[in-house]
Structure 1
Amino acid sequence: MSGVREPHLKLTEVLAELDMSRAAFYRMRARGLAPTSIKLPNGHLRFRRSDLDDWLRECEETVLC
């Protein structure tokens, strides 16, 4: 294993990429439709790049997103 960590995105970066408001994202998250996130001890969210990419691919294949 090379020791290279996968990049983690901040919520603001995900919102910018999705062109989505924070409120809309949290509504989607409350419904269980948002990408997988990591909640840090300080309450901030982080997103693995691969999880976001997988979620976007799933959105292409379904009408749930």
Structure 2
Amino acid sequence: MARPKMLKLPEVLEEIDMSRAAFYRMRARGQAPRLRKLPNGQLRISRADLDAWWQQCGENAA
């Protein structure tokens, strides 16, 4: 089984066109995609989690 694609936070911020500060505000409100912290302290977001978040945003806008 292949490992899921994990994106770096800067890649995600670029894709969603959002500043780091705005992303962390959304995260504090529980509205951001799930972050995973690696043992070295770096943050990653799975492609599946980001895609699900995008889908949820579309549903909330309708």
The 1-side partners of 2:4 and 2:26 are apart by 25
Runs of 4+ in 1 over 3 A off after TM superposition: none
Gaps of 5+ in 2: none
**How many correspondences in the alignment?**
61
Say what the alpha-carbon RMSD is for the aligned residues. 1.1
SS in structure 2 of the partner of residue 35 of structure 1: coil
Matched with 1:18 is 16
TM-aligned CA deviation for residue 38 of structure 1: 0.7
How does the TM-score come out when normalised to structure 1? 0.85
2:35 to 34, 37, 45: 37
Aligned position for 2:53: 55
Higher CA-based Rg: 1
- Structure 1 residue 25 displacement after superposition: 0.4
- The normalised TM-score by structure 2 is 0.88
Gaps in structure 1 of 5+ consecutive residues: none
More helix by share: 2
